[in-house]
Structure 1
Amino acid sequence: MAKPMTKTQLVAALADEMGADKKTAGSALDAVVAIITREVGAGGAVTLPGIGKIYCRERPSRMVRNPATGEQMQKDADKVVKMTIAKALKDSVNG
């Protein structure tokens, strides 16, 4: 498995793709991340065309087990960020 792309590598690739400098590409990436964080944090969803949909889902309270002691305990309800991958991306990886 290949190493994941770092933020520096992503900014450099984005700058090449945009035909802009790395500072502009970094600002664009930071802006996209801020928008996604704000929208999903508020309970909304963001669709990235060709990539997928990022959304927040609420999980109900449930019983969990402490793996160290085996003790059962109640875990409070919480929220979790999920992502559904777009069919186009799945097909490009598998095809």
Structure 2
Amino acid sequence: MTVTKKELIDTITQELSATGTPISKTQVAAVLDQFGAVATRAFNRGFDVPLPGLGKLKPAERAARSGRNPATGYPMEIPAKRLIKFVEAKALSATLNP
């Protein structure tokens, strides 16, 4: 099951209201959108992006390699590329694997 952006916004809004920090859904949506923009800039500069309580997102490089075209079976070169890796926090790992 996937949590949609709307469900995420609704849940954050409800939980903050329950703890005495009322905030509107529009404000939560703006924060999430801005987080994406800030994270993109950080990745482009080679920085990690922390996700408190979850872990961190780290930019990484995948080297060029040779592989096979799954449709034809012919060899092909797969170019190098940049990607994002998630490194989970110890607390999250302990929760998932008690």
* Residue 91 (str. 1) matches residue 94 (str. 2): yes
Moved over 6 A (4+): none
- Shift of residue 30 of structure 1? 1.1
TM-score, normalised to structure 1, is 0.87
**Aligned counterpart, 1:39:** 42
Distance (whole Å) between structure 2 residues aligned to residue 13 and residue 37 of structure 1: 24
Unmatched 5+ residue regions in structure 1?
Answer: none
SS of structure 2 residue aligned to 1:83: strand
Distance (whole Å) between structure 2 residues aligned to residue 76 and residue 25 of structure 1: 38
**Aligned counterpart, 2:19:** none
Aligned sequence identity (%): 37
TM-score, normalised to structure 2, is 0.85
**Aligned counterpart, 1:12:** 10
8 Å Cα contact 1:15/1:24 also seen in 2 = no
Q: CA RMSD in A?
A: 1.3
Unmatched 5+ residue regions in structure 2?
Answer: 17-21
Amino acid in the other structure paired with 1:58: E
Q: Which of 56, 61, 64 pairs up with 1:61?
A: 64
